[in-house]
Amino acid sequence: MNGGLLVAGTTSDAGKSVVTAGICRWLVRQGVKVAPFKAQNMSLNSFVTREGAEIGRAQAMQAQACRVEPTAHMNPVLLKPGGERSSQVVLLGRPIGEMSARGYHGGRQERLLGTVLDSLAELRATYDAVICEGAGSPAEINLRRTDIVNMGIARGAGLPVLVVGDIDRGGVFASFFGTVALLAPEDQALVAGFLVNKFRGDVSLLEPGLDMLHGLTGRRTYGVLPFRHGLGIDEEDGLRVSLRGTVRESVVAPPVGEDVLRVAVCAVPLMSNFTDVDALAAEPGVVVRFVDRPEELSDADLVIVPGTRGTVRALEWLRERGLADAIVRRAAEERPVLGLCGGFQLLGEHIEDEVESRAGHVDGLGLLPVRVRFAREKTLTRPVGEALGEHVEGYEIHHGVAEVAGGEPFLDGCRVGRTWGTHWHGSLESDGFRRAFLREVAAAAGRRFVPAPDTSFAALREEQLDRLGDLIEHHADTDALWRLIESGAPQGLPFIPPGAPA
């Protein structure tokens, strides 16, 4: 078998990432050697591979679904927004500079098509099947000329395309039809059919519409996936959790102790790797909430200042909203505060930034004896160490170089009283360390909270991935899906007018 498939979507957040992961997990359970691929990813949630390459966390999660190590070829182009109009471009795991959206789509993106096709060819030569994820919608007609992630990659590699639609949003039939009808004939010939995602209710009520859709487009529906809570793992878009009141949820057991722990995560601008708190949300009795008001910190047992692509901008935001003063008061009262990566940097005394914000010298919150200087070279490592008497693993993604001048050692950072800071993303996924840290937080907060003795974040993640595989196995036509991956799009698919504009 040397197959492939592109999972596209009618919109962003239609479910492409989880469907791709589900197909990968279903295939690997059938004994297929499979790999994920996304030509171009725009995300502030990234990961570091063992060879020191930066890729999107969604592709790292999909690699885990495939039970393989992630590599840079699985996400050759990563765009990390630094504002409304510019992004850092990461090519094959290494940053190559900042670029405006106009500059990128004005020619640079098109020139990268050969690079992404080479990466895809490398994976296809190594694996039995490669399941590719698109971005946004394949019918973004203003971007089709320079597209390297949807129909551009499908046509370049001859991949069949499965279009996913989120029926929970409404308008899924119009979205499916309109997506096909806005594609050029050569692109339409690769669109094999549809997959309905997040359906609630009786499927028999949906079937007449699916039959009519088949009559209108000549394309079948490959499955109807039911709505399931808690499957949005390692999302790409941190902007959605910036909305006040968003709670990070996980399917967990009841609390072990008498109390719960309340964790408030400051929803700073350009928040990166907010998935760091997933391991806390997976703990029975830990409630994780994203906040943007100082009064929302008052009942929190732990405040986390997360990573950000704009450390100086996040610092200004905290001050403008009164959150900075609230955090400083907490620290003075010995109430727990944790800074992660960019959050760690702004807890320090001084920041010298001529790289990210070009703001020069900026005073930090002064809670930790740390001075930060931004270097042009990005640190991309997978450190291993010990803290609180426990083994810890993590990964680092940052331009800021921290000079620690005091406090107690804490991973690569330090702690002063009940304020901790580190560059290490993913450290809370180390079970023993997470439990030891939560015990300290509970003691400082005066909570009768007891960490569950047997929570394994890795096992919970595996269970989530198996649930995704189950969704595909139980609710998709897997025989038809197998033929599609192995043999490509069916021949003779009809053209749906009007097609792409000239």
Collapsing DSSP to helix, strand or coil, 268 comes out as coil
Active site residue 425: yes
CA distance 431 to 429: 6
At position 215, the amino acid (one-letter code) is: G
Question: In this structure, what token pair is assigned to residue 92?
Answer: 């094959």
Is the separation of the CB atoms in 294 and 324 below 8 Å? no
In 240-366, which ranges are E strands? 247-248, 261-266, 271-272, 286-291, 302-305, 307-308, 337-340, 350-353, 360-363
Q: How big is the CA angle at 336 (ends 330 and 340), to the nearest 5 degrees?
A: 105
Options 73, 423, 425, 475, the catalytic residue: 425
Q: How many CA atoms lie within 13 A of 316 on its CB side?
A: 9
Active site residue 229: no
Is the separation of the CB atoms in 241 and 274 below 8 Å? yes
Residues in the chain: 502
CA distance 265 to 268: 9
Options 24, 341, 414, 423, the catalytic residue: 341
CA distance 77 to 350: 33
DSSP-derived letter for residue 38 is -
The secondary structure of 406-448 as a DSSP string is SSEEETTEEEETTEEEES-BTGGGSHHHHHHHHHHHHHHHT--
List active site positions.
341, 425
